[in-house]
Structure 1
Amino acid sequence: MSRNSEPPHSRMGSSSGRGFHHLALALLLSSQIQCALSVIFPSTHSSYKFDYLRRSPRLDPINGEAKRTLSKRENPIPLIVTNNCGDTLWPGVATQDGEGPESSGFELASGETRNMTVGPTWAGRVWGRTNCTVSNETATCVTGDCFGLLECEYSGAVPVTLAEFNLAGGDTRRQTFYDISLVDGYNLPLGIVYHPAANTSNIPPNFVNAACIATPGYLMAPNRTGIAYTNSSFPMPYEDSQTNSGISNWCPWDLQAFIPDKPGDGIYPYPDDNVERPVFDPCKSACAASNSAADCCTGDYNDPNVCKRSEYSESAKVVCPDAYSFAYDDQTSTFIIPSGGGWEVVFCPAGRSTNILATYGTQLSALASGGVVTEEMRKLAMNVSYIESVPGSSAPPGHRVSGLALVVTIVVTGLLSL
C-alpha cells in the first residue's frame, strides 16, 4: 500500500488511441456495474426483514405504537472513519437507503480520523481503497476502485473488506443490523467500534466491537482474550489460533488478486506453500472470482439448504469468525442491537480477529429480542473463564452454532427463500 497521488498518465493522442481508450473504459465500467448489481446489502437480504424486537408498547414512548417514521437528519448519527494502517487510504462510502454522509470518498492519511454524520435511517457500506492515483475528482485505485472517481457513487470494485450497516432495521425500524463482510473478498484489516448513546450505554463493548484481521504483521500474540476496543472489565473474545507467520496463507492460491510468480520457470513450479506471499495480499471471494450461481448463491442455488460454503468461505471463517463469508452466513455474522449511538470504522485495528458471536450468541439473541442488557448478561461479559471455555475458530466453521445462530436458523429459514 504505497502512497501515490501523482497525476495519471496522459491520454493517447491519436483517434485510434482514443477509440481504444474509450472501449477499455466501457468494458471496465460494464464489469464494475455487474459487481455493483450483484452486491448484497444487509437490509436487502431476506433475514434483515425479520424483526427480532418484540412488539411491545413499553418500547415506544410515542402513543404506544410499534412503528414510527424518522424524519430526515433527525438526530444525526456519527460515522467515524479511522486509518491505523501505515499508508494513506482512500475510504469509500456507498449509501443504499437514508441520508448518507457529506462525502462518499476521500483521502485519509495514516493515523488520521474523519468525523462525519449520517441520517438515523441510513443503510450502506464503508470500505478502504488502496494505492490510488488521484487527480482532482478522479482516483484510480488498485483495490476498492469506484469507477475511477474520488467520490464513490456505487460500491467499490472487488476484492474489498466491507463494513455494512442498516441503522433502522426490522419491522419496527428500531434495531441496527451490522456486519463485517468478506463476501466481496478481503483487502484490509477492518474493525467496527460502537459509540453508545444514552439508551445503549449499558451494552458491554465486548458484545459489539467486531474485528477481522487477516493480514500478517497486525496480529497481537495468540490469546483468547484482550482489551483492544474494550476494557479490562469486559475482555474481548478473540480467535486464538492464527499467527503473523501463518496467516499469510489463508487465501486459496488461485483467489489471490495478484498471484506471485513461482520459481521453476513455470515448468516444475514449487508447491504453493513454498512461495512467499506479499504482506499486502488481497483475496477474491469465490463468488467474485467465478461469478457462478453455486458460489454466489443465485439461481438454483438461491437457497440456504442448497448453497454451501466454498473453500474460500471456510478459510475466511477460520481467520475472521465474526465476518460474513458468503451469502447465507447470516447466522454467525450478523450483529443486531437497539438503534442509537454512533459508529467508527477502523482500518488496521489493534488486537486480533474477534470471536464474539460464537461466544455470546445466546446473550446477543436475548438483547436483539428484548432490547435490554440484564445483570446476568453483564456478569457473563466480565467472566474470563467463560470466554476461555468457548471453543475458538480452530473448530470447523460448520460445527460452531451459537445461540444467535439457532434463533436465526429456526425463525428465519422460511424467509430466506422469499
Structure 2
Amino acid sequence: MADYTTILSFLILTLYTQLLPGYATTFSITNNCDYTVWPGILSNAGISPLPTTGFSLQKGESKSINPPSNWAGRFWGRTFCSTDDKTGKFSCLTGDCGSGNMDCSGSGAAPPATLAEFTLSGSDGLDFYDVSLVDGYNLAMLVAPHGGSGPNCSFTGCVSDLNIQCPSELKVMSEGEANPVACKSACDAFNTPQYCCSGAYGSPDTCKPTSYSAAFKKACPRAYSYAYDDKSSTFTCGGSPDYTITFCPSPTTSQKASSSEDEGPPSTSASSSNLIMNSSMIYEGALDMSSSPSTCTNHLLSGGVTVILAFWWLWQLI
C-alpha cells in the first residue's frame, strides 16, 4: 500500500519549488563588438567573488554567470589586450586590472573604463544597478533586465561611441591607431576637486555637472556622468531578474582590440554621425527583449505541468 503521507509531502514540495519564482540571478554577458573583448569582474569588499574574475569573449560569444543572491560588484570590458612573449604577462590598454593575468583576481579597472555596477537584493530586497562613466569610457555597453518588476526596472547604458565624440583633452591615443581608444573622465584628466567631487566640492550641494560631464550626459542620458548623478542614472528591479550585459550594442568602428589572433574592425572614413546608431533604436530593442515572457511566467507554466502530472500519478495509485 502506498505511503500517501510521503506522496502528499512530495506534491507539496513540488508545488513549492515549481510554482514559486526562483531567486537565482543570471548575468549573460555578450560581445557584439567586431573584435575580442576581455570582461573583467570585481566583487565589492566583503562579498564572495564570482567563479571567474576575467575571461575573453570573441565576436558574437556569450558567457553566463550565476552570482550569489546578495552579490555586489562591477563588470567592464578590456580592450587591446595581449600577452608579452618574454614575460608571459597579460595586459590591456583600456580597462586593465593590473593582475598580469586574464583573471583580475580582486583588482579593479584602471580608468578610463565603462562600468556596469550591481547590488543584488539590496534595500527593500531590490536590485540596484547602473552604467557609469565616472571613470571614463572605453566601449559601448547596455544592461537590460529580464523578468523583473517595478516602475524603475528598465534598461540602461551608453550606446554612443564616446571615443569619436571625446574632447581632444580627454582622448586616449595608442601608437599606430588613428582613432582614440578611450575617453578619460575630467577627474582623471585634470585631477582637481571641481572635477573629482572632492574637498570643497565633495557633496551633492557643491559638486555640480561640468561641461565635460554634461557632454557625457547628453550622449548617454541614462548613464552616470559624475559622482552625484543619482536621480536619472540608478535603476532598481524587484523579483530577482536576470540581466544581459552587451558590449557594443550598436556598431562602433572607432576602436579595435589588439591581439595576435584578432584583426579588429575595418577602418572607415565615415563621419562620426554615421558611425553612431541612434540611441532610441537601441533602447527600443532592449525594451523588446525585456517584453518577452518573464522568468516567473515560464516557472508557472512548467511548474503547472509538473504538478498536474504528479496528481495524475497519485490518482493512479489510489
Interval of TM-score (by shorter of Structure 1 and Structure 2): 0.5 to 0.7
- Partner residue, 1:182: 133
- Partner residue, 1:102: 51
Computing the radius of gyration over CA atoms, which structure comes out larger, 1 or 2?
2
Selected match of 2:111 from 148, 158, 171: 158
- Trace 1:278-357 onto structure 2 (pairs within 5 A): 278=179, 280-350=180-250, 352-353=278-279
When normalised by structure 1's length, the TM-score is: 0.51
AA aligned to 1:118 is P
- Deviates most, 292-301 or 87-96: 292-301
Residues 100 and 119, structure 1, Cα contact 8 Å, conserved in 2: no
Share of identical aligned residues, percent?
A: 39
Distance 1:355 1:88, change over 3 A: closer
Distance 1:352 1:207, change over 3 A: farther
- Partner residue, 1:208: 154
Shift of 1:98: 3.2
Separation of aligned partners in 1, 2:70 and 2:181: 35
Q: Show structure 2 runs of 5+ residues with no match.
A: 1-21, 251-276, 284-318
Separation of aligned partners in 1, 2:68 and 2:143: 18
Separation of aligned partners in 2, 1:138 and 1:116: 26
Selected match of 2:170 from 255, 258, 265: 255
Separation of aligned partners in 2, 1:321 and 1:87: 26
Q: Post-superposition, which runs of at least 4 consecutive aligned residues in structure 1 deviate over 6 A?
A: none
AA aligned to 1:151 is D
SS at match of 1:331: coil
Greater relative contact order (Cα < 8 A, sep 6+): 2
> What RMSD in Å do the two structures reach over aligned CA positions?
2.9
SS at match of 2:216: helix
SS at match of 1:314: helix
Distance 1:118 1:326, change over 3 A: same
Q: Show structure 1 runs of 5+ residues with no match.
A: 1-73, 216-246, 262-275, 358-418
Selected match of 2:120 from 167, 182, 188: 167
When normalised by structure 2's length, the TM-score is: 0.66
AA aligned to 1:319 is A
AA aligned to 1:353 is S
Residues 179 and 335, structure 1, Cα contact 8 Å, conserved in 2: yes
SS at match of 2:182: coil
Residues 131 and 141, structure 1, Cα contact 8 Å, conserved in 2: yes
Shift of 1:185: 0.3
- Partner residue, 1:236: none
Residues 23 and 239, structure 2, Cα contact 8 Å, conserved in 1: no
- Deviates most, 296-305 or 315-324: 296-305
AA aligned to 1:146 is C
AA aligned to 2:116 is A
- Partner residue, 1:391: none
- Partner residue, 2:39: 91
Residues 28 and 243, structure 2, Cα contact 8 Å, conserved in 1: yes
SS at match of 1:98: coil
Distance 1:186 1:214, change over 3 A: same
Residues 180 and 324, structure 1, Cα contact 8 Å, conserved in 2: yes
Selected match of 2:76 from 112, 123, 127: 127
Deviation per residue, 1:183-232 (Å, 9 max, x gap): 000000100011215xx3xx68x9512231222xxxxxxxxxxxxxxxxx
- Partner residue, 1:54: none
